[in-house]
A and B are shown apart, each in its own frame.
Chain A
Amino acid sequence: KAGVTQTPRYLIKTRGQQVTLSCSPISGHRSVSWYQQTPGQGLQFLFEYFSETQRNKGNFPGRFSGRQFSNSRSEMNVSTLELGDSALYLCASSLEINYEQYFGPGTRLTVT
C-alpha cells in the first residue's frame, strides 16, 4: 500500500498570504490528523478529521482551518500567514481499530 502523501513538500510564502496544504491518507484510512512541528514548540496537534467531520481540535488560532473530502483526502489552510507559521506540517492517517497513526513526510512551509 502507498503511504501517506503530502503536497507540496516545500513551500515559500510571504507574510499576509494564505496557503493550502494537501494530504492523501493510506487507502482505507478514514481518520486524518494534522500536526505542526517547530524547533521552539515541538510537535503540536492541530486537528483531526473523520468522515468529513472535525472530531478534535488543538489550541491554534482560527487562521488555521482544515477540511476532509469524501475520499478521506484532507486539506489544511492557513490564512494571513505570520513568520511564526514557518514549520514542518505533518499529516497522519489512521485505521480506526488500532490507534496507530501513520505519518507523511511533511510539508516544509517557510514564511518570509
Chain B
Amino acid sequence: AQSVTQLDSQVPVFEEAPVELRCNYSSSVSVYLFWYVQYPNQGLQLLLKYLSGSTLVKGINGFEAEFNKSQTSFHLRKPSVHISDTAEYFCAVSAMDSSYKLIFGSGTRLLVRP
C-alpha cells in the first residue's frame, strides 16, 4: 500500500518570494509521483510528474520538483510566486502496477500575499 504525507496544511508567502511545498511518500513498491493544483471550484490540473530518469522535473507555470528516493520525498518548488499561484496543491503517487489509482496527500494551501 502507498501513503502520502504533506506536512504543511497551509503555506503563506509573499509575492515574488520562493516557495517549497513538501511531500513525503511511503510505498513497498516502485511508484510514479505527481503534483496537482486545484483552484477554487475547479477540478485538478497536473503540474508535473516523475516517471523515471532525471530526478529534477520541470512542470507548468514555473514549478519544478525533485525526486529523492533515499528520503522518499518529492518536494515542489517555485523560485518566485505570483498572486495567481494561490491554490491548493496535492502530491500523489501511484504504484507502477496500478498506475491509474492515485493516492493523494491531504493537500497544502498556498496563500500568496501582495
A residues with a Cβ closer than 8 A to B are 4, 31, 33, 35, 42-45, 48, 50, 55-56, 58, 90, 92, 94, 99-106
Contacts and interface: CB of A to CB of B under 8 A. Distances in A.
B100 A42 contact: no
B57 interface: no
Interface in B39-58: 41-46, 49, 51
Given A42-B107, A99-B32, A99-B51, A94 B43 contact: no
Contact of B102 (A45, A102, A106): A45
A97 to B, nearest CB: 11
A90 B43 contact: yes
B99 interface: yes
Interface bracket on B = 20 to 34
B104 A42 contact: yes
Interface centre among A92, A94, A104 (most CB of B within 10 A): A92
B100 A105 contact: no
A31 B42 CA distance: 21
B2 to A, nearest CB: 11
B51 to A, nearest CB: 6
B70 to A, nearest CB: 23
Contacts of A99: 32, 49, 51, 94, 99-100
Contacts of B103: 45
Contacts of B98: 55-56
A100 B101 contact: no
A35 B100 contact: no
A103 B100 contact: no
Given A42-B107, A102-B46, A56 B102 contact: no
A94 B45 CA distance: 13
Interface in B59-103: 90, 92, 94, 98-103
B46 A33 contact: no
